[in-house]
Structure 1
């Protein structure tokens, strides 16, 4: 793998417009996927699980595409020492699932 290669992954998160730092640790681990279809399917399954319980309410969730920093010793160390946010170059919200 070239040291200058960035990677693209997909994830989802609860919509939280009041949150200043999207990548701040919340106690809930992030789950990442190789492609949009896998992330979308996991989100559908999660929604089905939540909606099957009458006591739970589905919160709006956002499907996201992220691009990492180029792979290097420095970027991997940032990931390990500072968390996912230090390794994310950019992200975009693909869809809001209400």
Structure 2
């Protein structure tokens, strides 16, 4: 019997709201990446954009690694009906840019 795949995704999140996830905030469009390097480049580009004329503390940004549950038909239905949080098995902040 084949096992459903588990996905590893990366995303960028602001650190101004600890404990909140970008995928739970409807005002922040979530961008997900398959590749850590692509996600880190997006993080650096976003930080450069945010630093223009802002307090440096406002531009602390985290790179997060997300592992999904096995992507079965039930998981896809949960994603469609309940949102991205329904398929998150584990996540971790793997890097923070902007801290001294």
Written as runs of structure 1 = structure 2, the 5 A alignment for 1:10-25 is 10-15=10-15, 16-17=17-18, 19=19, 21-22=20-21, 23-25=23-25
Q: Which residue of 1 aligns with 2:89?
A: 89
Listed as ranges, the gaps of 5+ residues in structure 1 are none
- Contact 2:62–2:93 (8 Å) recurs in 1: yes
Identify, as 1 or 2, the structure richer in helix.
Answer: 2
Written as runs of structure 1 = structure 2, the 5 A alignment for 1:54-93 is 54=53, 56-57=54-55, 58-93=58-93
RMSD (Å) for aligned C-alpha atoms: 1.7
Q: What count of residue pairs does the alignment treat as equivalent?
A: 93
Task: Give me the TM-score of the superposition, normalised by structure 1.
Answer: 0.83
